[in-house]
Structure 1
Amino acid sequence: MKNLKILSALFLMAVFPYGCMVGPKYVKPEQPQADTFRYGDQSQDTTKSVRMIKWSTIFNDPVLIGLIEKGLQNNFDLKIAISRLEQARANLGIAKADLYPSLQYSGQVNSAETIMQPSSLLANMSWELDFWGKYRHQNKAFLNDLLASDEARKVVLSDIVSNIAISYFELRDFDNQLEITIHTLETRQKAYDIINERFISGYVAELDKVQIEQQVAIAEANIPALKRQITALENSISILIGQVPQPIERGKTNSELLILTTFPTSVPSALLENRPDVKSTELLYRAANERIGVAQALRYPSFNIAAIAGFTSVMVGDLFNDASYTQNVGAGIAGPIFNFGKNKRRVDVNRQIAQERKLNFQKTYLTAISEVENSLQNVAMYKEEWAARNRQVIAAQKNYELSNARYYNGYVSYLEVLDAQRSLFEAQLSLSQLTQKQLTSMVQLYKALGGGWN
């Protein structure tokens, strides 16, 4: 009966603490709110979410989709993020184990029959009661770390998809620029051959010959530079998809590529739910807030329960006799008295860590809104700029044809033809770059809105 009373008291001690927790409760920080994005479509249905649009549906190039899928399988940054996620999962398991009793066993056999070192076979249990919530706070902290690691994995995944797509657009842009340059070189080389023959025949001055010769050399010099950039991009994409640097397969040109032109922009507050980087920083703040409770609990006494049961005997042969059986249950308390403010400073440190995480969360949220605003404006402005550049290319082509005809009919010097040709070349390169930037801006908008990268 006495043992039953002791066990009942210990049970009440074990259950009662779960109503006692020191430490602050989590309060979500207030964020500056706006009803709409500054450059967003005010007429869109804000109840729709960009998360419903999967990344694989926004591209119409099977080669690009294949590269991205290969990157998701082989990319080392993603593998590192998954490894960190598993580390966080294991840490959570360790934290959960601290909530429960610890059971051990021990045994020894001694040939010397002495009271000081008897033979024994014992099982013992020790349990620190979570009276102040130290282990519960710690458990919640590791849980939030785990969730933050999963959101960080999504950030890496988002970066992989967008980086491969953007690098691919840049690669196709350089391919197009190389094609434009080679065509320009061929045109200038033909013009050089004609003018050189006319110079030899005495129909034109040497000035015309050296001017076109200079333009031929300029086009020739651009080709190696473009080839270097193409190789560098191919190597970058190879690293992104986790393979040895090698030539990258090509699919559609940038002019043939199509990307969804509109995404539901919703409202700024939706970024808290859509963006994995925003969610990750908030979860890290929650984890830091829980660790304040852990630090505060260390300032209070700890309560322990211990139990032991088994056999012990001076003589090995009598080890398992009834008389050798022993058991005991006990409880203890331990706590700090004076340690020169160490525990208080530990709480202060954790408060400041939580404050840092809070500020980082707020900054990340504002940065996310800024990125969406920039992306929305880029999409609109690149569209307008592309239309103007396209008209410029058409006009420059016509100007070059007319100037060429005027020169061969003797109305103008070759300097006018060179100027028209240079303007056409630069306009074509600018249009190629703008086509790439248009595609890139749509991917960046999709990423900024927190699109469905899962």
Structure 2
Amino acid sequence: MKNLKILLVLLLAAVLSNSCMVGPKYQKPEQPQPQSFLYGNKTTDTTSNVTTIKWSSIFNDDVLIGLIEKGIQNNFDLKMAVARIEQARANLGMARADLYPSFGYSGQVNSAQTFIQSSSLVANMSWELDFWGKLRHQNRALQNELLATDEARKVILTNVISGIAIAYFELRDYDNQLEITIHTLETREKAYNIINERFLSGYVAELDKVQIEQQVAIAQSNIPLIKRQITALENTISILTGEIPGPVPRGKTNSELMVTSDFPISVPSALLENRPDVKRTEFLYRSAYETIGVAQAMRLPSFNIVALAGYTSVMVSNLFDNSSYIQNVGAGVAGPIFNFGKNKRRVEVNRQIAEESKFLFQKTYLTAISEVENSLQNVAMYKEEWTARNRQVIAAQKNYDLSNARYYNGYVSYLEVLDAQRSLFEAQLSLSQLTQKQLSSMVQLYKALGGGWN
């Protein structure tokens, strides 16, 4: 009968402990949500979602896809992110255990009967009742931290995918620039040999020879610079893929590469669901919001139940006699009375931390909209710029061919040829860079819309 009463008391305490819960209820902050993107399609299908497009489907280069897959497997930032997730999960498990009773045991043996401490073997139980919701708020805070940590992993995953792709495009751009420079150097060296022979024969002035010699040196000096850039990019890609820095395999050239740009451009509010960085900051805000309830509960009394059962005796030989058996159940309460406003200010501190997290969430959302707008504009403008630059290269090549023919027929000085050749060289390099930027802008648009992490 006595044990039944104890059980009823414990059950009643457990029920009551879940009946009250102080602290504010979470409300999602209002966000300014424009109906459409300024540079997006005005007839947007709001049900479309870029997260349904797997990252590997937007590239047509198996070598690049292989590098990205290797990065997903080996990248150390991703491995650290996974470790942080497991750490957050373990912290949540520890906090959940606080909701339930804890059980322990203790024992000691003393041979001297006159010793102050008796011999004993006792099992004990202690339980802090979550009457005001302190532990539940703490659990919710840690659960949201876990979710935020997982979203942070998705952010890193997106950065790894886009980082490898963009670095690869830049690497192929420098490969192309190196080919252009080597071809230009060969053309200038051939011209130098011809002009040098004509100078030695007295057909041209020394000025022509000096001018072409200068252009040969300029082309030669560009090659080491480009090779340094290639090495730096290869090392960058190696680090992203978790490998020892070294040569990186090549696939298609940038001219052969294609990146899908026909992504579903949903309304800006969809970024709240698509973008892992936006979702991460919202989970952090939720977590900070829950800590307000923890701080408020700390201002109120805490209730504890303790129980023990076991044997204790002055004489070791009588330790397990029936007369040595003991059991007891007790309850306690403890709470603050006056501490000069410390607990009140703790609530205010946590409230302001939550407010700061809310502003970070709102700022991240606005930044996401800005990044999409920039990416949409970049994709469109780089396409227009590439078309114009391509026409320039075609015209510059024709101008060089005509100037070269006019010079060898004696109609113009070699200065005109040099100017035409310099314009062609610069236009070819600019077109190569624009091809890379066009590819990179499409990847950045995919990333800005919230793709790449699934």
Question: What TM-score range do you get, normalising by the shorter chain?
Answer: over 0.9
**Corresponding residue SS for 2:18:** helix
Residue identity matched to 1:400: Y
CA RMSD of aligned residues (A): 1.0
| 1:271 match: secondary structure | helix
Structure-1 residue corresponding to 2:129: 129
Aligned position for 1:16: 16
Tell me what 1:160 maps to. 160
- Give the corresponding residue for 1:212: 212
Moved over 6 A (4+): none
AA at the equivalent of 2:149: S
Whole-angstrom distance in 2 between the partners of 1:182 and 1:346 = 68
The 5 A counterparts of 1:133-282 are: 133-282=133-282
CA distance in 2, matches of 1:176, 1:128: 69
Partner Cα distance (2:83, 2:160) in 1? 16
After superposition, the C-alpha distances for 1:249-277 in whole angstroms (9 at most, x for unaligned) are: 11110000011121001010000000000
1:62 maps to 2:35 = no
> 2:408: which partner in 1?
408
Greater Cα shift, 209-218 or 11-20: 11-20
1:355 aligns with 2:364: no
**2 CA distance for matches of 1:297 and 1:258?**
58
The residue correspondences of 1:376-387 to structure 2 (distance < 5 A) are 376-387=376-387
Kept in 2, the 8 Å contact 1:55–1:451? The answer is yes
C-alpha displacement at 1:4, in angstroms? 3.4
Structure 2: which amino acid aligns with 1:16?
Answer: L
Is the contact made by 2:275 and 2:448 (CA closer than 8 Å) also made in structure 1?
Answer: yes
Asked whether the 8 Å contact 1:52–1:452 carries over to 2, the reply is: no
Partner of 2:30: 30
8 Å Cα contact 2:44-2:267 kept in structure 1: no
SS across alignment from 1:304: strand
C-alpha offsets along residues 24-50 of structure 1, whole Å, 9 cap, x if unaligned? 110000000111111111234221100
- Once residues 6 and 45 of structure 2 are traced to their aligned partners in structure 1, the CA distance between those partners, rounded to angstroms, is 65
Q: Counterpart of 1:291 in structure 2: which amino acid?
A: T
Find the aligned partners of 1:180 and 1:12 in 2 and give their Cα distance: 83
Aligned residue-pair number? 454
The CA deviation at 1:3 is 5.0
Provide the C-alpha distance between the structure 2 equivalents of 1:2 and 1:248, rounded to a whole number of angstroms.
77
* 1:115 to partner: Cα distance: 6.9
Secondary structure class of the residue paired with 2:126: strand
- Distance in 2, Cα, partners of 1:452 & 1:357: 25
* In structure 2, C-alpha distance between the alignment counterparts of 1:126 and 1:2, rounded to whole Å: 19
* Aligned residue identity for 2:141: A
Letter in structure 2 aligned against 1:53: I
Which residue does 2:292 correspond to in 1? 292
Q: Which residue of 1 aligns with 2:103?
A: 103
Structure 2 counterparts to residues 115-126 of structure 1, below 5 A: 116-126=116-126
Secondary structure, counterpart of 1:19 in structure 2: coil
- Greater CA drift, 143-152 or 45-54: 45-54
Deviation of residue 394 (structure 1)? 0.5
Identify the residue that residue 50 of structure 2 maps to in structure 1.
50
Which one is further off, 335-344 or 297-306?
Answer: 335-344
How many angstroms does 1:414 deviate by?
0.6
Q: Distance in 1 between matches of 2:315 and 2:11?
A: 36
What pairs up with 1:87-98 in 2 under 5 angstroms? 87-98=87-98
Aligned partners of 2:453 and 2:7: how far apart in 1? 54
Amino acid at match of 1:104: G
C-alpha separation between the residues in 1 aligned to 2:426 and 2:20? 73
Q: Separation in 1 of the partners of 2:181 and 2:149?
A: 47
CA deviations 1:93-123 (Å, max 9, x no partner) are: 0110110001010111110124732111100
Q: Are positions 1:314 and 2:303 aligned together?
A: no
Residues 208-249 of structure 1: per-residue CA shift (max 9 Å, x gap): 111111111110010000001011111111111111110111
CA deviations 1:299-345 (Å, max 9, x no partner) are: 00100000000111112122112111110001010001111111111
**Further displaced range: 104-113 or 140-149:** 104-113
1:60 is paired with a residue whose SS is: coil
Identical pairs, percent: 79
- For residues 108-155 of structure 1, the C-alpha deviation after alignment (integer angstroms, 9 at most, x for no partner) is 111012473211110000001001100000000000000000000000
Q: Does the CA contact (< 8 Å) of 1:119 and 1:313 recur in 2?
A: yes
Counterpart-to-counterpart distance in 1, 2:19 and 2:398: 83
Deviation of residue 52 (structure 1)? 0.5
In 2, Cα distance between equivalents of 1:2 and 1:103? 21
Name the counterpart of 1:73.
73
Could you say what secondary structure the match of 2:450 adopts?
Answer: coil
Instruction: For 1:441, give the aligned amino acid.
Output: S
Matched residue, 2:392:
392
Stretches of structure 1 lacking an aligned partner (at least 5 in a row): none
Give the superposition deviation at 1:440: 0.1
Q: Which runs of 5+ in 2 are unaligned?
A: none
Tell me, yes or no, if the aligned pair for 1:311 and 1:326 is still in contact at 8 Å.
yes
| 8 Å contact from structure 1 (residues 393, 424) kept in 2 | yes
Query: How far did 1:6 drift?
Result: 4.4
SS at match of 1:126: strand
Specify the code of the residue in structure 2 equivalent to 1:78: L
Classify the secondary structure of the residue corresponding to 1:203: coil
